[in-house]
Amino acid sequence: MGTRVRSAAVAGLRGLVLAVAGLAGSIALFVLSVLSIAFVVLGVGALTTPWVLGLVRHWANWRRVVAAEWCGVRIPATYRPFPDDLRGGVVGQAERCRLMLADPATWRDLRWLPVDMTAGFVTALLPAALIVYPLEGYALAAGLWRVFTDGTYVGWWYGFVPVSGQGTALLAALLGTALLATGLFVAPALLRVHFLLTRSVIAPADGELAERVRVLTETRRDAVDTSAAELRRIERDLHDGAQARLVAMGMDLGTIEALIEKDPARAKEMVARARRSSAEALTELRDLVRGIHPPVLAERGLGDAVRALALRLPVATEVEVAVELAGRPQAPVEAAAYFAAGEALANAVKHAGADRIWVDIAHIDGMLRISVTDDGKGGAAVAPGGGLAGIERRLGTFDGVLAVSSPAGGPTMVTMEIPCVLS
């Protein structure tokens, strides 16, 4: 019963937050979106619409994050990515406007805003009402009814109970008890209904298969491009680093062979230099291997690998890593999750100005979920060519998703999910 009470209370509090924030945020964003799109024909809207629609996407992504974390409801984000060669300035902003308005996901978000401010408001408020409204019935039974009536007429209604005296006030308390008992059992389910309603509006329905094919095509192309770029990087690092040192060391050994009898002292110096070169080449090879697949990841798993990564951060940032894994994901998924977490940590250290970073790793409902949260300045966004866009491409190869919640002033939460099974 204690667990049920806590669950209902948490659902009521979260529902109240969603109702208040959702009503204000959705109304404001809907009005801004309508005005900005209307002004596109005048030219001004082409400059403001990408900014406004970007806010709408952040708002929808925040709802996706809390839906997954609070009720386990996954709402896919299927926004079309911007081309990497998108220009800046006024021309680039106008092109960005055109691309966003041509994206079906944009219109689903805009259609969701009025639903969120009406039906969404009601479904979010119901869990809170079932938990909070009974308190009024108890207050009336405790004597508050005297404030509203002198006992000769009905001065207050509690639900469908007309309160005119102590007897009817007790009936109000009885009704409040019935509502509270109902809330203890249905409040979490009602909160889930709110997120299911959200998913029914903003998740792709018609043309979902075509959208799925498009996403898979893009992720496959990104995977091929990434693999080619990685092979070029390895080849370049080997050619310019370890290979050059090994060639130089071979030349030194040839010189040593010629000097070992004529000039032993000089040969000894060159042996020491060759030994240093071999050590440096070995270090470079180890760094190269670590960049391909870190040994600690292969030996100790994702949790310890991320902890080791946190210890090597270049600034004095406190990092807490919580891991709840009953096994290990497949090696490719584990590697992708490790590098995605590393990129998210690097972004937090480089851009957020955070004092603390929290990393949570868990496997829930067939999904490997990694959340990187910092107490920095906020304002992070998935932008073409940025670090978060790279994470999104990396996760997309494995049908994973990325959600970013980063209001101005912080905190920033980057949530990554990859479908997988543990072994």
Q: What is the pLDDT of residue 194?
A: 94
What pTM does this model have? 0.53
* pLDDT of amino acid 27: 95
Give, in degrees to the nearest 5, the angle at Cα 261 between 257 and 264: 90
**Angle at the Cα of 32 (from 26 to 38), degrees rounded to 5?**
130
Report pLDDT for 53.
Answer: 93
Report pLDDT for 345.
85
* pLDDT in the model for residue 235: 65
What's the pLDDT tens digit per position in 84-105?
667 777 777 888 898 899 888 8
Structure tokens at 258: 């010629």
pLDDT digits over 365-399, tens only? 888 888 888 888 888 877 766 778 778 877 877 87
Residue-level pLDDT at 37: 92
Residues of the chain with pLDDT under 70: 1, 84-85, 145, 150-155, 205-245, 281, 283-294, 314-321, 384-385
| pLDDT score recorded for residue 214 | 64
